[in-house]
């Protein structure tokens, strides 16, 4: 069984003075952020690279590399010092901004990269309590003051339903001795974890009916997003949000769009390669698995 801390955990604290200094550097940025991986989100997710393969901050499509500093990092001494102090074996480091009301769809990462031990670390710089990462049935507030581990070979999504942009420093790191040692001490404060309720059949039926109504008026994107967003509010089994979109297009007799979303499900969740990747995922402290609370809501057959 896969423990929650294999998927997400807190690795090490970040002191407040460092966080304030990095935050000030980020707030003073005047660069134009790049919009990448657009099919994986609803708009409003943008990045800038600090360590990458070209030194150009707007090169933000990640790949395996032995990275160099970008011209942006050279102008961020506190951020640069933090990365150096953490001392990981970096593959890529980015700033990622998630605008208010934006959300990433349920997905897996790393499918295009080499099969080597690698983890994604998050350092929240500017965030709010209405921003979260969703994993399985859980919504997790990635609270400031820590380096967080996210193992993105497991399905996950991100959202920001707060009023201000959420900005994280995202460190893709090769697993080395230093990171392995931190993984042995990883923890997860359960006060940051919220269990999502299971939806009722009536709630799902209503959502599909309402989405179909939007689609009939030509608001296809709004219809699709209304169903895909359910992953952020309910405990849905892997890929079920995509199946709801397919079900909605089924009800409209729209076979091409139905087929497209079933293809998207396979692509975004990397279903052809996911099982093998999860089996070789670096493991942390298995003793700290969080036991899910019993839901009193009757589970809809998904």
Alpha carbon distance 79, 164 (integer Å): 21
> Quick one: which H or E segment has residue 248?
helix 240-252
Residues 6+ apart with CB under 8 A from 13: 145, 146, 147
Q: Which of 152, 155, 239, 284 binds Fe ion (CB under 5 A)?
A: 152
Identity of the residue, 175 or 252, whose beta carbon is nearer to Fe ion in the bound complex = 175
Alpha carbon distance 113, 132 (integer Å): 25
| Residue 202 neighbours by CB distance under 10 Å | 9
Identity of the residue, 109 or 136, whose beta carbon is nearer to Fe ion in the bound complex = 109
DSSP single-letter state for residue 36: -
- Binding range to Fe ion, per CB under 5 A, among 18-26, 151-159, 198-206, 289-297: 151-159
Residues 6+ apart with CB under 8 A from 126: 23, 26, 27, 164, 165, 166, 167
Nearest approach, Cβ of 25 to Fe ion (angstroms)?
Answer: 24
Identity of the residue, 124 or 152, whose beta carbon is nearer to Fe ion in the bound complex = 152
Whether 138 contacts 146, CB under 8 Å: no
- Binding range to Fe ion, per CB under 5 A, among 67-75, 104-112, 138-146, 250-258: 104-112
**Which of 8, 1, 300 lies closest to 183 in space, CA to CA?**
8
- Binding range to Fe ion, per CB under 5 A, among 90-98, 106-114, 250-258, 276-284: 106-114
Nearest approach, Cβ of 36 to Fe ion (angstroms)?
Answer: 12
Identity of the residue, 90 or 300, whose beta carbon is nearer to Fe ion in the bound complex = 90
Identity of the residue, 109 or 186, whose beta carbon is nearer to Fe ion in the bound complex = 109
Nearest approach, Cβ of 82 to Fe ion (angstroms)?
Answer: 22
Q: Which of 25, 106, 109, 186 binds Fe ion (CB under 5 A)?
A: 109
Nearest approach, Cβ of 113 to Fe ion (angstroms)?
Answer: 12
How many residues bind Fe ion (CB under 5 A)? The answer is 2
Identity of the residue, 51 or 170, whose beta carbon is nearer to Fe ion in the bound complex = 170
Q: Is 205 helix (H, G, I), strand (E, B) or coil?
A: helix
| Residue 227 neighbours by CB distance under 10 Å | 25
The first and second tokens of residue 53, run together, are 């393969």
Residue nearest to Fe ion (CB): 109
Residues found near Fe ion in the complex (CB under 5 A): 109, 152
């Amino acid at each position: 069984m896969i423990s929650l801390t294999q998927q997400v955990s807190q690795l090490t604290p970040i002191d407040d003075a460092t966080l304030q200094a990095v935050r000030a550097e980020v707030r003073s940025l005047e660069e134009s952020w790049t919009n990448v991986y657009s099919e994986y989100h609803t708009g409003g997710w943008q990045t800038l690279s600090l360590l990458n393969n070209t030194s150009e901050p707007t090169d933000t499509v990640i790949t395996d590399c032995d990275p160099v500093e970008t011209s942006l990092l050279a102008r961020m001494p506190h951020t640069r010092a933090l990365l150096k102090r953490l001392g990981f074996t970096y593959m890529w480091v980015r700033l990622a901004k998630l605008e208010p009301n934006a959300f990433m769809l349920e997905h897996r990462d790393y499918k295009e990269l080499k099969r080597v031990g690698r983890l994604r670390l998050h350092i929240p710089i500017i965030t709010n309590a209405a921003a979260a990462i969703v994993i399985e049935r859980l919504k997790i507030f990635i609270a400031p003051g820590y380096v967080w581990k996210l193992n993105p070979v497991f399905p996950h999504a991100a959202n920001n339903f707060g009023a201000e942009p959420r900005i994280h420093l995202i460190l893709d790191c090769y697993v080395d001795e230093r990171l392995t040692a931190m993984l042995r001490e990883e923890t997860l404060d359960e006060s940051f974890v919220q269990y999502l309720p299971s939806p009722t059949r009536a709630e799902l039926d209503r959502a599909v009916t309402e989405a179909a109504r939007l689609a009939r008026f030509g608001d296809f994107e709004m219809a699709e997003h209304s169903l895909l967003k359910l992953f952020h509010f309910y405990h849905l089994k892997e890929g079920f949000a995509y199946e709801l979109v397919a079900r909605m297009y089924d009800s409209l007799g729209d076979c091409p769009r139905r087929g497209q979303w079933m293809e998207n499900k396979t692509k975004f969740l990397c279903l052809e390669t996911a099982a093998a990747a999860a089996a070789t995922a670096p493991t942390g402290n298995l003793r700290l698995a969080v036991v899910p609370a019993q839901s009193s809501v009757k589970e809809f057959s998904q």
